[in-house]
Each structure stands twice: as structure tokens, then as C-alpha cells.
Structure 1
Amino acid sequence: MHASCVCVCVCVCKVKPRADRGGLATDEEKLASSSAVKDGNRQACILTSRVEEPDCVSMVRDEPCKRNNNKNQEGSEVQKTGSQVLDSICISETEKQAVLTLIRDEIITKEVQANDWKRKYEEGRQEVSEMRKIVSEYEKTIAQMIEDEQRCNTGAQKSLQAVTEEKDAALNDLNSVERSLSDMFRRYENMKSTLDGFKKNEDVLKNCAQEYLARVKQEEQRYQTLKLHAEEKLDKANKEIAQVRSKASSENMALMATLRKEQMRIDSLETGLLQKNQEIEELTKICDELIAKMGTVD
């Protein structure tokens, strides 16, 4: 009985996996094979320890040889499921139930592990989906930022161009203002030289007026002298006195007319001088305003 059990166990250990499963045995077959190998080894140890049973030993030695020969001849013809292997093994029903229990526990454990891996896979897939959403939002944000930056660059370029145009316009205005100021300064210098000429003319006219006044005084003195001389020679020189008086009167009138003329000329010159001074003040105010504007532009 023990020898047959050992032979069956040795055959089970050397059974190849089924070809229709791609060279992979099921968990049930692996567990059955491992349990059968353990039982067979245990029974083989028991049989080998019993030296006094030559029949069993010879059967143990003959059965592997026969199995090896059949295996070399038949190849992979021995293909059985886990349940068939258990049926072919000579073990008790209790041990068979224990093996099946172990197989079921292993299957349950594998199912738990598979469910755990499925759960981890779903969690990983959800995380990947969330990360994809985050990456998509990040890409959209980056694209929006790039677009905003490009828009800002475009606006900055437009603003720079506008500022450059304003600068060019301001430079043109500044050049025109400088030209205007140069013209005004030249006119101011001309007016200043003209005013200097007017002042010189005024001085000359004043000197002339003083000379005329001195001449008038001299004429008056002469008149008085002539008058005294005429009074002495009144009787003798009435005609001459009348002539002298008429002549003096006419000369006096001429001198007075000349004096009035010169006085009017002086008045007109003073009026012109006042006007020129007002113009100079206005020009000075305009120059100050332009200089203030130039300072604000700078």
C-alpha cells in the first residue's frame, strides 16, 4: 500500500502542465501537486525506513523506473486537472478535505489580493485621471498666461510706439518753440537796439530843446536889451522898435511853434517808448511762459 502511494506521488510531481493553458498550471493544480509531493515524501521516508519490507522497496524502485520509461515514451500525454490528481492520489478523505480547504483558502487569499490590486488599480486610475485633469487645467492656465503675456507685450509695444511718437512730436514742438524763441530773441535784440536808438535820439532832442531854450533866453535877453535901447531911443526908433518887435514876435512865434513841435515830438517819443516798454513786458511774459512750458515738458 505504501509503495503504490509513493509511486503515485512521484508521478504527480513529474506531470507537466497542460498544453492548452499555455504551459501555466492553475492554483488548484499547484497546491495539489505541492501537497501530494509533501505526502509522498513523507510516505517515501516511512517506506525507506522500513528495510525489513523488501517487497515495498522493490516496488518503490521499480515504479519510478517504469514511470520514467512511460514518460519518455508518452511525453506530455499525462494531463490531468487538480481534482483528477487528487482522485488518483491514495490519501484519506480527511487529508483530501484538508488539501481542498488549503486550496480554497489560497484561492480566497488570491481573490482578496486580486480585489486589493483592483482597488489599488481603481485608486491609481482615479489619481491618474485627476492628475490628467490638473495637468489639463495647468496647460490651459499656462496657455492663458502665454496669451496674456503676448497681449501685454503687444500692448507694451503699442504703448512704446505711442510714447515714441509723442516724444518725436514733443521734440518737433520743442524745436519749433526753440526756433520761435530764437526769432523772438532776435526781435527782442532788434527792438532793444531800436530802443537804444530812440533813447539816443531822445537825448539828442533834449539837448536840442535845451539849446533852443537857451537860445530863447538869449533872445529874450537880447529883446530886453533892445527894449531898453529902444526905450532910450523911443522917439527916434519907434519904427525900428516896431520892426524889431514884429521881428522878435515872429521869431518868438516861430520858436514857440518849433518848441511846441519838438514838445509834441517828445510826447510822441515818450508814448512810443511806453508802448515799446509794454511790448517788451508782454514779450518778457511770453518768454517766461514758454520757458516754464519747456521746463514742464522736460
Structure 2
Amino acid sequence: MPSKAFGGGDLEKPTDTVVPPNHEGPVAETTVAPVAQEKHRQDNHGEEVQGDPGVPLSLPVRHATDEEKLASTGMVSKDPEDCSTSNTSNTKSTDDLPVGKTDSASEKEICSPSEGICKPLFPSEKTSPGLDCLPLSEIDKAAVLTLIREEIITKEIETSDWRRKYEESKAEVTEMRKIVAEYEKTVAQMIEDEQRKNMCSQKSVQQVTLERDQALADLNSVERSLSDLFRRYENMKGVLEGFKKNEEVLKKCAQEYLTRVKQEEQRYLTLKLHAEEKLDKANEEIAQVRSRANAESVALNASLRKEQMKVESLERALQQKNQEIEELTKICDELIAKLGTTD
């Protein structure tokens, strides 16, 4: 029996048919009048299910497609003679059964009052020609209602399964939406953090670049200062070497002058002693010669004068030498003082 959802729209169609899969030969046609009442009750049940607030409005309902309708109508007999012939051929098998009793797997035929054609419900039921297009018996009605109730229960179970699956899917979708929203929020936060980090990195790079440029400028300035200082150092080193050479020369000169002064002092002492000796000798000679003639006194006076002049010249030379010695001493003191300050 084909599975079909018993919704409100499906139950209101009187043309829906059920075709036995293994039925051979012409299809018998019967009408079912009480089926409308059962369909009305099913419609009420469907409205109760649809009115339930816990049931979602978007439950999947399977309607009969055009292909199924064409297949069901193609199975219907083409004219009433085929229907009567089929009913006649099956009379014997129907007469053999007890009245009011049918097999559970026997064929039940339902005739649609709107179309006027008969459609088999069960493949094994054989009907007599006199029962064509007549209302079903109470047993047939009960069997049909039982089948319809079973299918309704089955569809309700399927509906509850679909409802449960829908709720689970809805919960999963809600959870996934929350996860996706959280993921998008996290991604946006990560992008914002990355942009902030990039901006901070760019600022840091710019700051480091400025510091590097400033450090390079300072380094160049320090290198220039060091080169100037080294040049001045070399110049001062040359000047100091010149000063040292001059100092050595001056020291040699001073030493030579000191040696000469000592020699002059010794000479002066020698001359002084010699002069004193001469004076003493002259005095002795004068004392000895006084007794001599006055002529000799003049000569002696002249020689004395001469000697005195020599003494005076020597004294003047001595004074001059003393002055030169003092000047040399001053010059040496000044040089020594200058050398002391430079050291």
C-alpha cells in the first residue's frame, strides 16, 4: 500500500486511488459512500494536529504527484464491458466464500462516486457481477477504517519523528548559528587585533627608524669630532716633540753656558790671584823702588796706572760676565718654568 501523508489537502481529494501491485486483468470498479465520513473525521484530526502549537507549520506533507495520478488512472478499465467481464470471471471464486466473510489479504474495491470508476483496494478479492457499483458492507467499511486508522497512526508516528528531527535540526541550526556568530565575532576581534598590532608595529618601526637615523647622525658627528680631535692630537704631538727638542737644545746650551761660567770664574779667580800677586809684587817693588829715583817712580806710576787700567778692564769684563750669567740664569729659569707648566 503506497505511503501517503493524510493531511487536510490530501483527504479532501476524492480521486486519490490505491492500485494493487500484482493485479492482472481489468480492474473492477466499486463505490464507497461512507468513506467521506471517515475522511471528514480524518480532516478534523488533521486540523487538530495542525492547530497544535507544539507542531511546526512547515512539516513536510507528501501529496500525490501527477505521475502517480496518471499511473492510477491508467490502471482503470477502459469501458464498462471490461469491468463486467472481469466480474463474471471472478464470480465462482466469490461464490465459494461464505457470505459476510472475506480473507484478510482479499481484494476490496472502492468505486469513486465523482468519477464513476472502480479501483481495487486489495489484489486477492474476487467480487460478483451483482456487487458492482454497490456500497460496501459493514465489514468492508470496518476493514477500510482499520486500515485508514493504521495508516493515520503510522503517519502520526512519522510526523512525531519528523517533528523530533525538526526540533533536533532546529536546535543544531541554532547552536551552529551561535557558534558561527561567536566564530565571526572571534574572527572580527582577531582581525581588529591584527590591525592594531600592525599599526603598533608600523609606529614602532617608524620610531626605531627615527632613532636609527638620529643615532647615525650622532655617530657621524662623533666620528667627525674624533677625527678633529685626532688631528689636533697629532698636531699637539708634533708641537710637543718640537718643544722637547728645543728643551734638549736649551739644556745643552745652558750646560755649555754653565761650563763657560765656571771656566770664567776659575779664570777670574786665577786673574784675581794673579792680579793680587802682581799688586803685591808691585807694592813690594814700589816699596823697594821708592828708595830709588823719582824717575823710576813715574815709570812705576805709569806701569801702575797701566795695571790699574787692566784691573778695571778686567773688573768691567767680570761685571759684564756676571750680567751675562744673570741673564742666562733668568732665561734658564724661564725655560724651566715653561717646561714645568707644559708637563
Secondary structure in 2 matching 1:27: coil
Deviations 1:266-287 (A, max 9, x none): 1111111010111111222xxx
Q: 1:57 to 1:259 in 2, by over 3 A?
A: same
AA partner of residue 149 (structure 1)? V
Q: Which residue of 2 aligns with 1:204?
A: 260
AA partner of residue 186 (structure 1)? G
Distance in 2 between residues matched to 1:204 and 1:161, nearest whole Å: 63
1:153 corresponds to 2:209: yes
Secondary structure in 1 matching 2:61: helix
Q: 1:109, CA displacement in angstroms?
A: 3.8
Q: Please, what is the CA RMSD of the aligned residues? A: 3.7
Distance in 1 between residues matched to 2:188 and 2:105, nearest whole Å: 73
Q: Which of structure 1's runs of 4+ aligned residues deviate more than 4 A?
A: 52-55
1:142 corresponds to 2:152: no
1:116 corresponds to 2:203: no
Q: 1:128, CA displacement in angstroms?
A: 1.9
Distance in 1 between residues matched to 2:204 and 2:254, nearest whole Å: 71
Instruction: Give 1 or 2 for the bigger CA radius of gyration.
Output: 2
Q: Which residue of 1 aligns with 2:325?
A: 266
AA partner of residue 227 (structure 1)? N
Q: 1:234 to 1:10 in 2, by over 3 A?
A: farther
Alignment of 1:217-296 (within 5 A): 217-236=273-292, 237-284=296-343
1:91 corresponds to 2:152: no
- Determine which of 20, 29, 51 is the counterpart of 2:62: 29
Contact 1:230 1:241 in 2 (8 A): yes
AA partner of residue 259 (structure 2)? D
Q: 1:112 to 1:240 in 2, by over 3 A?
A: same
Deviations 1:234-273 (A, max 9, x none): 1324333433333333222221221111111111111110
AA partner of residue 56 (structure 1)? S
Q: Which residue of 2 aligns with 1:75?
A: none
Distance in 2 between residues matched to 1:147 and 1:257, nearest whole Å: 92
Unpaired runs of 5+ in structure 1? 12-24, 31-51, 67-87, 285-298
Q: 1:154, CA displacement in angstroms?
A: 3.3
Q: Which residue of 1 aligns with 2:106?
A: 56
Distance in 1 between residues matched to 2:163 and 2:253, nearest whole Å: 129
Distance in 2 between residues matched to 1:9 and 1:182, nearest whole Å: 130
Contact 1:216 1:255 in 2 (8 A): no
AA partner of residue 211 (structure 1)? R
Q: 1:27 to 1:163 in 2, by over 3 A?
A: same
Unpaired runs of 5+ in structure 2? 2-16, 22-57, 64-101, 110-118, 124-143
User: How does the TM-score come out when normalised to structure 2?
Assistant: 0.55
Q: 1:227 to 1:100 in 2, by over 3 A?
A: same
